[in-house]
Chain A
Amino acid sequence: MTYARRAWIVLWKDLLVERRSKETLNALVFFSLLLLFVFQFTLGPDRERLTAVLPGLLWLGFVLAGLVGLGRTFLLERENDCWEGLLLAPGDKSAIYVGKLAANLVLMGLVEALVLALFTVFFNVDLGPALGGLVPVLALGTLGLAAAGTLFAAMTAHVRARELLFPVLLLPAQVPVLLGTVKATEALLAGAPLGTVGHWLQLLAAADAVYLVVGVLTFEFLLEG
């Protein structure tokens, strides 16, 4: 119970700070809009080419937005030495990881919902028929991205070349997630039922489980530096 309360208070704090400062959310929204403009200009009106690359573009947008947002996860803790307070708080430190991860999931969920809506407008595609199937793919993909991203953000929080090191560490670790999400999204957008992408969902679930277990087990060591 104490563990859940400690995770909850970290989630509450991060979301409250974000609601008031809007630093990460504003950055993510503008970044996502810029990406969509770039994609639009690059692809032009060619519908055939768009259909072929849409799943990749969608996840490229999510991952790039994730890199911007997740990389900032622990910047807040450097304010007034709050990191020191987190470290000295008695109890299982993985509760802090779980709270941070949950806050990242909420933020990424909001941005992804916005990006999906903008994709339909920018590229004139109808995601409606595939939306039911896309939800579990999005949920598992986002969990994998956020679980690994939160962990690597903690690892690189005090590194001088943080902005460089964070994507260098995160992107290779995301290969199974990107593979599963892009392939599953491609099939679902082509009209395949959810049952046909079960193996990709299994891959995503397995990757998520690995990232979560590693995150929970190693977070305390990362926090201690």
Chain B
Amino acid sequence: MPADPLIRVTALGKAFGARLVLGDVSLAVHPGEAVALLGPNGAGKTTLLKILATLTRPTRGAAAVAGHDCARDAERVRRVIALVAHGTWVYDDLTAVENLRFWATLAGLTPSADALAGALAQVELDRVASVPARTFSTGMKRRLGLARLVLAPPRVLLLDEPFAGLDERARKWFEEHLEAVKARGGALLMATHSLGRELAIAGRIAILAGGRIALDAPHGAVGTEEIRRLYALHTEEAS
């Protein structure tokens, strides 16, 4: 009998006005598991992540993280999740280390100078620790955003196109970091429309199309070519 899921989504629906984005989505992600959420643009992947991250509320159904309801118990959910999305949460006029200190302190941590330096070293930003982030490239800002995960490892990671903007070394580091989260018993939900790197980490593939989970299968059971075929099939059906 597997442990209780860290992410449980039940008959979830979300509408923006008259536009239904999520119709009837059910999904569970267990400890130590990573699920790649595939789907075309506008399928509702980001909306589902935002509901789980407590940034928006569902119209119907329920979403829970670590047993806490995302709508009714947002504060407890926020204590166990981390969201890696399109925004890097970087203040351009602060240096890398100042940015990191700010977010860590706001999260209730008291990181030492060594801990901050160590986190920056992991994402290879230690040499520019005292440089204002205004001068950073998009990829460097994304790496700075990822350094927060080193200081406060989450139990549940919600990822939206996690490898976008990262160079090869940063991708490799991040892959290892995600594997470590899984090994610690954490859960990952990765939204993507790429069929590349994310699939290697994911133990399960879920295709979101037409406002519902059209396919939910173990990665090992279907090869990448088969995933491509099913992805094309389900997204065509949905449109």
Residue numbers of A with Cβ under 8 A of B are 2, 5-6, 9-10, 12-13, 16-17, 20-21, 76, 79-82, 84-91, 96
Contacts and interface: CB of A to CB of B under 8 A. Distances in A.
B105 A79 contact: no
Contacts of B90: 79-80, 82
Given A17-B94, A90-B75, A90-B78, A80 B89 contact: yes
B102 A13 contact: yes
Given A6-B108, A17-B93, A88 B55 contact: yes
Contacts of B53: 88
Contacts of B81: 88
B80 to A, nearest CB: 9
A80 B93 CA distance: 12
B55 A84 contact: yes
Contacts of A87: 55
B143 interface: no
A87 B110 CA distance: 20
Contacts, number: 75
A100 to B, nearest CB: 12
Contacts of A84: 55, 83, 85, 87, 89
A87 B103 CA distance: 12
B143 to A, nearest CB: 13
A89 to B, nearest CB: 5
13 contacts: A2-B108, A9-B105, A12-B102, A16-B98, A76-B91, A79-B90, A84-B83, A85-B89, A88-B54, A88-B83, A89-B78, A90-B107, A96-B106
Given A20-B132, A88-B53, A90-B78, A79 B102 contact: no
A12 B103 CA distance: 12
B79 interface: yes
Interface of B: 53-55, 75, 78-79, 81, 83, 85-94, 98, 101-103, 105-108, 110, 132, 141
Nearest to B81: A88
Contacts of B55: 84, 87-88
A85 B141 contact: no
B94 A6 contact: no
Given A80-B141, A88-B83, A6 B105 contact: yes
Contact of A89 (B88, B92, B107): B107
Contacts of A80: 87-92, 141
Given A79-B90, A88-B78, 14 more contacts: A6-B105, A12-B102, A16-B94, A17-B94, A79-B91, A80-B88, A80-B91, A80-B141, A84-B55, A85-B89, A88-B55, A89-B103, A91-B108, A96-B106
A204 to B, nearest CB: 32
Nearest to A12: B102
A84 B83 CA distance: 10
B79 to A, nearest CB: 5
Nearest to B148: A85
A110 to B, nearest CB: 18
A76 B78 CA distance: 23
B105 A82 contact: no
B108 A90 contact: yes
Contacts of A17: 91, 93-94
Nearest to A22: B93
B72 to A, nearest CB: 13
Nearest to B82: A88
Nearest to B92: A79
B85 A81 contact: yes
B228 to A, nearest CB: 32
A154 B38 CA distance: 35
Contact of A16 (B78, B86, B93): B93
B136 to A, nearest CB: 11
Contact of B86 (A5, A9, A81, A85): A81
A87 B91 CA distance: 15
B93 to A, nearest CB: 4
Enumerate the 3 nearest inter-chain pairs by beta-carbon distance, A residue then B residue, closest first.
Answer: A81-B87, A85-B89, A9-B105
A89 B78 CA distance: 7
Contacts of A81: 85-89
A10 B53 CA distance: 22
Contacts of A6: 105-106, 108
